[in-house]
Amino acid sequence: MRTITDMYFDVDTFAAIAARATQTDASGTIPAESWQELVETGYLGLFHPRHLGGSGADAATQVRAMEALARACSGTYWAATVSSLLCGNLLATYGDERHHELIRSLATGKRLAAFAIVETAAGSDAATYRTLVRRAGSDYTINGEKSRITNAPRADLAVTLARRDRPAGDDGPEWCLAFVDLDQPGVHRYDIPHMGLRGMPWGGIVYTDAHVDEANVVPVPFTELAEGMTWGWLLVSVAAVATAEAALSASVRHARQRVSFGRPLAHMEGVHAQVADAHARIDAARLLARRGAAQRVAGYSARQLIGMLKVYATEMAVEVTQCAVQIHGAAGVTEGHEVERHYRDAQMNVVGAFATNRLREQIAEGLGLGPAVYRPFDWLTPTGLAG
């Protein structure tokens, strides 16, 4: 197996993880061997500098490795990359030297992290979030419930978005990130069954007066938090590209082997059109992902660019995997078939880390169209029909 010292990743790097992908999906559990292999390849450290336990890999290497792992097993990719890339970068961006050990633990695989943002009654609408951090002596307590969270049932640490209970005279931000140790009284976790990405741990966290050290509560303006979450859009987009590529490869293999009406499917014009269109769209999304990652790693926001990528790549993957199902026929909807798994996984990427319908509104806002908010409007009175 290649290692990080080669600074090269392809699907063969994660061949053993790929061989277990069907088992991982069926059992809903990532095998211990897969985690060990991730540590050995250095994947978890790609996103961090050497002094924090990482390798300081460049953007091209990061995206190549992300796509290779996601193509091998999407569930494993999500669990590993949410922990190291998303949570690790949030810790690095909003924490300080006191949090370096937490980052090292994620980069070396000693800890697994969850980004706890969504709540039971709210997805993308942060205005409805109710999880609250309150001062308790020299430290804090946290109360609330986070739901549909990657890694929640298995994580050691949760980077939690919460409101602050601000005493009189505190004019600081209403929001904060709380870095919560999940191995303590006052924390209850549960699993949630899910359609795709079944190997990825997914569930909820209930906080009941759980303890948080003072150093682990970081007030952050909500606009800055939205910037940090752009990493999530990037990791989901790369997953979508990889899933679409895996489905396309399966379709090409099937078309070469399957004979129908006296000729291989590969000789049929309709199949040609589907695979050619899929190939072009996948490459377009891949190039956009590499561009977005390069800007992000270089320190630029790239929020608008990666937002467009997230919309395009995730919806493209759904359409490509749907074509793969059609090319495979009944086999493509048979439980346990790789194309059936890719189709389920692709659906999860559309809604994960911000649904694309809401993201379109934010992209339009970035073009100067203003916020997409509802305002009452009287359509009838000007027409004389109000009575």
Q: What is the CATH number of the domain that holds 256?
A: 1.20.140.10
Per the CB < 8 A criterion, the answer to whether 311 and 233 are in contact is no
The one-letter amino acid at 104: R
Q: Are residues 234 and 327 in the same domain?
A: yes
Q: Are residues 247 and 348 in the same domain?
A: yes
Non-local CB neighbours of 144 within 8 Å, separated by 6+ positions: 119, 129, 130, 131, 132, 162, 206, 207
Please give the torsion angle defined by the CA atoms of residues 288, 293, 299 and 302, in that order, rounded to the nearest 10 degrees.
40
Q: Are residues 233 and 349 in the same domain?
A: yes
| Nearest one of 238, 202, 217 to 317, comparing CA atoms | 238
Which of 111, 135, 160 is the last residue before a domain boundary?
A: 111
- Please report, for residues 136, 174, 206, the alpha-carbon distance to residue 165 in angstroms, rounded to integers and kept in the order given: 11, 8, 18
**Which domain range does residue 290 map to?**
229-369
* pLDDT at residue 123, as a whole number: 67
Alpha carbons within 13 angstroms on the beta-carbon side of residue 17 total 30
pLDDT tens for the 387 residues of the chain, in order: 444 444 568 778 899 999 999 999 999 999 999 999 999 999 999 999 999 999 989 999 999 999 999 999 999 999 999 999 999 999 999 999 999 999 999 999 999 999 999 998 776 677 789 999 999 999 999 999 999 999 999 999 999 999 999 988 888 999 999 999 999 999 999 999 999 999 999 999 999 999 999 999 999 988 887 777 888 999 999 999 999 999 999 999 999 888 777 777 777 888 889 999 999 999 999 999 999 999 998 989 899 999 999 999 999 999 999 999 999 999 999 999 999 999 999 999 999 888 888 888 888 888 888 776 767 777 788 887 876
383 belongs to a structural domain? no
Q: Look at strands 132-136 and 157-164 and give their pairing.
A: parallel
21 belongs to a structural domain? yes
Q: Are residues 236 and 365 in the same domain?
A: yes
Non-local CB neighbours of 186 within 8 Å, separated by 6+ positions: 141, 207, 208, 209, 210, 211
387 belongs to a structural domain? no
* pLDDT at residue 266, as a whole number: 74
- Please report, for residues 208, 215, 239, 295, 375, the alpha-carbon distance to residue 133 in angstroms, rounded to integers and kept in the order given: 11, 13, 33, 34, 32
340 belongs to a structural domain? yes
Q: What are 117's two structure tokens?
A: 């943002």
What CATH number is given to the structural domain containing 141?
A: 2.40.110.10
Q: Are residues 104 and 139 in the same domain?
A: no
What burial class does residue 53 get, using C-beta atoms within 10 Å of its C-beta: 0-12 exposed, 13-18 middle, 19+ buried? buried
Helix axes 59-72, 230-257, angle to 10 degrees: 50
Which of 89, 111, 133 is the last residue before a domain boundary?
A: 111
* pLDDT at residue 5, as a whole number: 44
Q: Is the pTM for the entire model greater than 0.85?
A: yes
Q: Are residues 247 and 365 in the same domain?
A: yes
Q: Are residues 280 and 236 in the same domain?
A: yes
* pLDDT at residue 169, as a whole number: 86
Q: Are residues 355 and 256 in the same domain?
A: yes
Q: Are residues 333 and 252 in the same domain?
A: yes
Q: Are residues 240 and 355 in the same domain?
A: yes
Domain count, the chain: 3
Which of 87, 111, 135 is the last residue before a domain boundary?
A: 111
Q: Are residues 211 and 151 in the same domain?
A: yes
Q: Are residues 257 and 215 in the same domain?
A: no
Phi-psi region of 354 (alpha: psi -120 to 50; beta: other; left: phi over 0): left
